[in-house]
Every structure is written in C-alpha cells, then in structure tokens.
Structure 1
C-alpha cells in the first residue's frame, strides 16, 4: 500500500553554532529523536521551539517553520509530532551540520 510522506517540515537546525550541539555532535545519528521544547519567553521569537538531545539544547526549529508546531505543542498535542535527525555532517559549517525534520506521528494501530 502506498504511504504518503509524513514529513511536515525539513530544515537545518537553527542556532546550532550557539547551542550545546558541539558537546553532543559525535553522538548525533540519523534517525535519532530530538525533544521539542517550547520557549514562549524567548526574546527573539515567542513561537521558539528549542531542540534538545541528551538534555542539551542543540538549537531551534527555524522561525519560518515553528508557528504551527508551537501552537500544537502549546495546546498539548506533542504526541502528534516527532522531530528526527535526517543528516549529520560534522565537516560542514555549524549552520549546516545537522538537518532534522518534523513528522506527524503515525497513531494508527499496527494491527489493521
């Protein structure tokens, strides 16, 4: 059966060069899940969503992608979203070292 893509947004992690990403860069792997944490008091963006791995803030979902996801997180729909690492390129500039995507979680039962 054809399965449409579940990707809602794909992006390079914003602010990676300013976060704690360098501390965990060697541990980041394709397919690893990132925790999405709202930062409504962020002075730069009230819809800011920090991305965390192993308790470290590695950066943010870029502002051009975060408003809908921030609304969903705010209203308790975090289980509907997954943020997963798509690419890790330590040799690239910090702006392009980690690519991630937000997916809609598949809540369908495995037994259909």
Structure 2
C-alpha cells in the first residue's frame, strides 16, 4: 500500500511542530559559574540583622545600578526586597554589563557565617544561565 505524496506531506507538516517543541523543551538549561565573593557593604545595610534568617542556597536578586553616583557598574544585591549590599567593585564590571544586556544571572547564598567579621558573613555565587 502506498501513501499519496500529498497526504504524506500534510502528515509530515502536522508532526513537525510537535517534534520541534519536544526538542526545545528537552534542551537543558546550562549554568556557568561566573564568580564567588563576599557582599560589599554588608555591614552598612540590612545584612547583619537578617543573617540569622538566611541559609545556603537562598536566592538573591541582582540589580544593575548604572546611575549609581559612586560606581557606574554597581550591582545591588537584594534578599526578599531587603538591600544586603553590593557586588564588590573588583567583580562587578562583567556582571553589570550582562544584567544591562538582559542576561539571566542567578545569584544564591553560598555560605552564611554569622560569627565572623560582618564583611565576611555572606558568601555569594553568581551563575549565568544559557539555553
């Protein structure tokens, strides 16, 4: 039994989008670690009073502040709408540029140590999500 060419092509076209959708959905997200650092200015913002409520793995928000009068590459770090401080100036250029270009950056708490100096209480890891 042969299938008419026209029927075959219609069937093929109907199956094509489903195949593409499955392929796109099956493509895993890739994450690339960009940096690890302590939060700059942690002791001057909400950090010290919130540190006891934070845990490793907590999600943080990164916000580029291109109009910051002290550093045009400033990147603010927030946790649950509380300002914790900033990405250190030595590490903020590439993160600021990526954020302003719309890249998906994931920041999370890597380590919490409330018994150390305030500027070392919180270690953060930032990853670039691709895919």
TM-score by length of 1: 0.83
Distance of 2:53 and 2:111 partners within structure 1: 13
Matched, 1:20 2:38: no
| 1:85-96 superposed matches below 5 A | 85-96=109-120
Looking at structure 2, the residues matched to 106 and 40 of structure 1 have their Cα atoms a distance apart, in angstroms, of 24
What pairs with 1:19-98 in structure 2 (closer than 5 Å)? 19-77=45-103, 79=104, 81-98=105-122
CA RMSD of aligned residues (A): 1.7
- 1:110 matched residue in structure 2: none
Q: Write out the 4+ residue segments of structure 1 that deviate beyond 6 Å after TM superposition.
A: none
CA distance in 2, matches of 1:10, 1:53: 17
Gaps of 5+ in 2: 1-30
Which runs of 5 or more structure 1 residues have no equivalent in the other structure?
108-112
Q: What is the CA–CA distance in structure 2 between the aligned matches of 1:106 and 1:72, rounded to whole Å?
A: 12
Richer in helix (by share): 2
Q: SS of 1:30's equivalent?
A: coil
Q: Note the C-alpha offset of 1:106.
A: 5.1
